[in-house]
Homo-oligomer: A and B are copies of this chain.
Amino acid sequence: MVDIATRVWNHRWKIDPIVRSLIDTDFYKLLMCQSVFRNRPDTTVTFSLINRSTHIPLADLVDEGELREQLDHVRTLSLRRGESTWMRGNTFYGKRQMFTPAFMDWLEHLALPPYHLDRVGDQYELTFEGPWPEVMMWEIPALAILMELRSRAVLETMGKFELQVLYARAMTKLWEKIDRLRALPDLRIADFGTRRRHSFLWQDWCVQAMQEGLGDRFTGTSNCLIAKNRDLEAIGTNAHELPMVYAALARDDATLAQAPYDVLSDWHEEHEGNLRIILPDTYGTKGFLENAPDWLAGWTGIRIDSGDPVEGAETAIRWWQSRGEDPHDKLIIFSDGLDADKIEDLHRRFAHRTRVSFGWGTLLTNDFRGLTEGDALAPFSLVCKAVAANGRPTVKLSDNPRKAMGPSEEVARYKRVFGVGEQVEMEVVV
C-alpha cells in the first residue's frame, strides 16, 4: 500500500531541505556558543567559507539558486519545543542543566543572521557577519549544505539501481571498517562527521551502523539532532574558533600570548571532568604546552587535531610527565583525518600508555572514495572559519602549515609571539 498522503506531501515540497533543525549541528558549537554568550557576547565576527580543495569547482557543481534556497531555509529555523526540552532536561557528560536558563531563553529566540554569497570564478564566497554567538551557529549548516548539494549534483545523473548499488558499496565499505574496529579491545570512538557528511540520511545510517556494530565501544555522536533521535550521548568540547577570536581581540603581543590560556581559563570556570580537554595546536602545540600554567596540567585530556598524531601524542605524554601527572589517568582524543587504519595504529601505540578516544569525522560519514567514475563523490576539505573579530583578522597556525590561515604579516607576528619555528607540512585529505 502506498501512503498517498506522503506522496502528495512530498510533491508539495518547494525544496528538499538539507538542514531541518537548529540542533542538526555539533554539540561543541552549543557549548562554545554558551561560553561566548556568557563571556564575549558583544564581539562582532565574520565567518567565511574556505574550500581548501581548489580543484573542486564548487560554483560549477552547485547551482546558486539551490544554494540560496537551502541557506534561506536555515534562516527560517528556530529551536523546537522538543529540542529545547532535550537541551534543558538531558544529562550531558554526566551533568544536568549543562545549558543555563539564560542561554536557553536566548537560543529559543535565535534565528540565524543574513549571509553574503558571491560567485568568484569557479568558487563561492560565502560569509556571515554579526554578533559572535549568532554567526558561529552558521558554521556547521553552511558546510553540511554545500557538501550535500555537491553530493546531490553528482547523484542526479545516476540511474535508480546504480544509486542503490552506490549506497550498497558505501555501506559495505563502512561495515568492513567497523568489522576491523570491532577487533580492538576497549575502543572508544564517536562520530564527528556532521560538517562534511555526504548527507544527513547517510550520517544517520552510519551512526546506527556504528551502534549495532560496535555496541558500547561507540560512545556517541557530535550531532545533537541524531543524539536526540537515537538516544545517544552528544559528544564534543571546544574548537579553534575560541582562541582564534580571543587572539584577534588582543590589544598587544603580551595579551596575544596569553589569549589561548584566557580561553581555557573561562572554560575552566564553566566545565569540569571530560569536558576539560585542551586543544593545544591553534598556535603550535609545543610552545602552547611549554608555556601553559600548571592548573592546565590538571585537565582531563588533550585533543590532537593537526600534525603527526604520533608525535602529538608523545608530546602530550611527555608534557604530563614533566608536570608530575600520570598519563594513564589522562585522555588523548584523536580527531584529525582518521580512518580505520590510522585508528588501529594509534590505538595499538597508545591504548596501554594513556586513555585514548577517537572522534571519527569525514571518512566515517563521507567515504565515497573509489565508488564513482572520476571519484566525483570523494570528500574534500571545506571549512568555515572565523576570519575577523571586531574588524581585526584572525590567525591560525596549527601544527600543519597547510592548515594555517590569516594575512601573512599577522601570521609572521603570531609565529614570533608564540615562538613557532619550522613545521612539517602534511597533506590535508579532508
Query: What mask results when residues 9 to 21 of chain A are scored 1 for a CB within 8 Å of chain B, else 0?
Result: 1000000000000
The answer to whether A209 and B161 touch (CB under 8 A), given A1-B3, A3-B3, is: yes
Q: Is the CB–CB distance between B165 and A209 below 8 Å? A: yes
Q: How far is the CB of A234 from chain B (nearest CB, A)?
A: 21
Chain A contacts with B in 210-269, Cβ cutoff 8 A: 212-213
Is the beta-carbon distance between A171 and B175 smaller than 8 angstroms?
no
- Interface residue A424 (Cβ < 8 Å from any Cβ of B): no
Which among A3, A6, A171, A208 has the highest number of chain B CB atoms within 10 Å? A171
Q: Does A315 contact B (CB under 8 A)?
A: no
Task: Look across to chain B and name the residue whose beta carbon is closest to the beta carbon of A171.
Answer: B168
Indicate whether A164 reaches chain B with its CB closer than 8 angstroms: yes
Is residue A172 contacting chain B, with contact meaning CB distance below 8 A? yes
Contacts known (A1-B3, A3-B1); A208 close to B168, Cβ less than 8 A: no
Are A165 and B160 in contact (CB-based, < 8 A)?
Answer: no
Chain B residues within an 8 Å CB radius of A160: 212
Q: What 0/1 pattern do residues 138 to 176 of A give for CB contact below 8 A with B?
A: 000000000000000000000111101101110110010
Residues of B within 8 A of A102 (CB): none
Residue A168 contacts which of B2, B172, B212 (CB distance < 8 angstroms)? B172
Contact A212 B162 (CB under 8 A): yes
Asked whether, in the complex, the Cβ of B1 is within 8 Å of the Cβ of A9, the reply is: yes
Q: Is A183 an interface residue (CB 8 A)?
A: no
CA distance A209 to B164 in the complex (A): 9
The distance in angstroms between the C-alpha atoms of A35 and B5, with both chains bound, is: 49
Asked, given contacts A9-B1, A212-B160, whether A167 binds B168 with beta carbons under 8 Å apart, the answer is yes
Nearest chain-B residue to A1 (Cβ)? Answer: B6
List B contacts of A175 (CB < 8 A): 161-162, 165, 168
